[in-house]
Amino acid sequence: MADNPSMKWYVVHTYSGYENKVKANLDKNVENNGLQDMIGAVEIPVEEVLEIRNGKSHVVQRKRMPGYVLVRMVMTNESWYIVRNTRGVTGFVGAGNKPSPLSDEEYNEIMAAIPVTRLDVQVGDEVRILNGIFENFTGKVTHIDTALKRVTVVVEMLNRATNVDLELDEVVRVDI
Average pLDDT estimate for 152-176: 86
For residue 1, pLDDT over 50 is answered with: no
- Phi then psi for residue 144, to 5 deg, are -130, 130
Sign of the C-alpha dihedral, residues 80, 84, 19, 29? negative
The better pLDDT of the pair 114, 150 is held by 150
pLDDT at 67: 92
pLDDT at 171: 85
CATH of region 8-117, choose from 3.30.1020.10, 3.40.50.1460, 3.30.70.940, 3.90.230.10 = 3.30.70.940
Model-level pTM?
Answer: 0.65
Cα 113 to Cα 33, 106, 171: the distances in Å are: 33, 13, 27
pLDDT at 14: 93
Cα 156 to Cα 79, 106, 129: the distances in Å are: 67, 50, 12
Provide the CA 146 distance to its chain's centre, in angstroms. 16
pLDDT, tens digit, 9 for 90 and up, residues 56-72: 777 778 888 899 999 99
Provide the CA 82 distance to its chain's centre, in angstroms. 28
- Phi then psi for residue 84, to 5 deg, are -65, -30
pLDDT, tens digit, 9 for 90 and up, residues 84-141: 999 999 989 887 778 889 998 888 888 886 666 667 788 888 998 888 888 889 999 9
pLDDT at 55: 64
pLDDT at 113: 66
Look at strands 150-157 and 160-167 and give their pairing: antiparallel
Topology annotation, domain 121-173: SH3 type barrels. (2.30.30)
For residue 28, pLDDT over 90 is answered with: yes
Domain ranges of the chain: 8-117, 121-173
Identify the band that residue 27 occupies on the pLDDT scale cut at 50, 70 and 90: very high
